Chain A
Amino acid sequence: MELAIDVSRSETKRTALHDEHVQLGARMVDFADWRMPVQYDGVLREHERVRSAAGLFDVSHMGELFFGGPGALPTLDHLATNDVTSLQPGRALYTPLCNERGGVRDDVLLYRFDATQFMMVVNAANHAKIAAWSREHLQPETELHDRSEALSLLALQGPRSREILSSSRILGAIAARLHDLPYYHFLPGDGRDLVAVSRTGYTGELGFEIYASHELAIALWQETLASGRAHGAGPVGLAARDTLRFEVGFCLYGNELAEDVSPLEAGLGWTVKLRKADFVGRAALERQKREGVPRKLVGLELQERAIARAGFEVRVGERTVGSVTSGTYAPTLQRSLAMALVQRDALEEPMCVAVRGRGIPAQRVTLPFHRPAATK
């Protein structure tokens, strides 16, 4: 067999937790210019850990851009398709950022600290692009401060996550307040060592994300693994992060989302607020909404033991009608599933996925594939 052996390039960046991962025996790979843990003790085991207990992720490759000043809110509201003016302090908001054609430049989380202070969390691969683009669009009296280099980001996800994090000594007074923290709310920290703890995540499970200094993140990583062991918690790499988000139908930038895919096509219509003030991409999205989207993101289940990988063609008979954006074996559901962008006129037709020369019949299934119990 041909194996794509990963060779690290010298310029890849390391997170503050790099040595922790190596010590745990993680397999490290290059991902968006970062050396990241892709797996520790096996993707299936790590996936199951999050669904049944809790998993700890180092996602410090994500970027944190801080917007401050009287112009911060109008700046962000102009870049986002979602309504930032309705975002209350202490809450987070998921939103695409679009280009003028209505394609997605990035999908981000916005955190509002108070009337004039916000944090935007961007994907690692889009970090430089979005930082530069945001600077071009800053409105008067707005400051943009990129704190990505100084901050780590940990995620603890899974049904036992709240129990584990509540017992943290490092989080101090905040730990005790996690029990009452609703979905997509956050608790601000001191702003230096601890920026925020939020009820957010990328797995569909009960979970938290912690934005902190490198020093605090290392201490919290070690504390969480030690205290979490008795609960069945352990570290989880990027491979399981991908299968976990896939099962619950979350989009991944570079797969479901791209500069030539609109949020309406990707099933993110709920994040596009056409009634708010003008924003980048609005005209194109309004037109798409009026005329109907050319393509739609759908869920597919393969009817044979094969996996539809990203980029594989979706066909109706001999006609190519779309392509797979993500596909894998879904560990919780134990089925071979895929997400695909398919032309609107083909949605009701019987589809096949071309898997290495063979047309494998694929059944339409609703997204998300899986809904974990009681996440909100």
Chain B
Amino acid sequence: MEALNDMPDIPTHLKYTSEHEWVNLDDDGMALVGITDFAQSELGDIVYVELPAEGETVTQMESFGSIEAVKTVADLYAPVSGEIVGVNATLQDAPTLINESPYQDGWIVRMRLTDLQEVEKLLTADQYSEQVGEAE
């Protein structure tokens, strides 16, 4: 039997990809991106994060970086297309911030969206919960 506190945290105000990234959209076309609580828990302790440089442009659902955990590596996929306007530099020295705080201190990049329509392809918290529920 799984204890209640083992359930992954899936905040309702965020959008998600089927590949376990989350997106926090604001009103002026900017987005904060990270990986979900479920993803960090599956990966285990994260030791290196390979991030794009500021100013790079990325395309929706294309790989734009990677996360190395002790046991495994996973590609990061861009949830939306756009320009990288900020990267979380503290992750270079403290990558386990992603494990400890996947939705807050462990954010990964800030982006400026080029196509607001792409947001329609993202999953709601309910849809993502359903997907994670099936995986477990």
Contacts and interface: CB of A to CB of B under 8 A. Distances in A.
A43 interface: yes
A44 B40 CA distance: 14
Interface in B4-60: 6, 19-21, 35, 39, 42-45, 47-48, 50
B67 interface: yes
A25 B75 contact: no
Given A43-B45, A307-B48, A3 B39 contact: yes
Contact of A3 (B6, B20, B47, B76): B20
B80 to A, nearest CB: 16
B77 A1 contact: yes
Interface residues of B, number: 31
A177 interface: no
A1 B21 contact: yes
Contacts of B42: 3, 5
A38 B41 CA distance: 13
Contact of B76 (A1, A39, A307, A336): A1
Contacts of A21: none
Given A44-B45, A44-B96, A3 B74 contact: yes
Nearest to A46: B45
Contact of A2 (B3, B70, B75, B99): B75
A290 interface: no
Contacts of A4: 72
Contact of B68 (A42, A239, A329): A329
Contact of B71 (A2, A239, A336): A239
Nearest to B134: A5
Contacts of B3: 25
Interface in A35-69: 38-39, 42-45
B70 A243 contact: yes
B75 A306 contact: no
B20 A1 contact: yes
Nearest to B65: A1
Nearest to A239: B71
Contacts of B124: none
A239 B44 contact: yes
Nearest to B76: A1
A56 B50 CA distance: 34
Q: For B45, B75, B99, which residue has the most chain A Cβ atoms within 10 angstroms?
A: B45
Nearest to A7: B135
B73 interface: yes
Given A305-B48, A306-B48, A329-B47, A1 B75 contact: yes
Contacts of B74: 1-3
A305 B67 CA distance: 11
Interface of B: 1, 3, 6, 19-21, 35, 39, 42-45, 47-48, 50, 66-68, 70-77, 92, 96, 99, 135-136
Given A25-B3, A45-B45, A305-B48, 5 more contacts: A1-B19, A42-B44, A43-B71, A44-B70, A305-B68
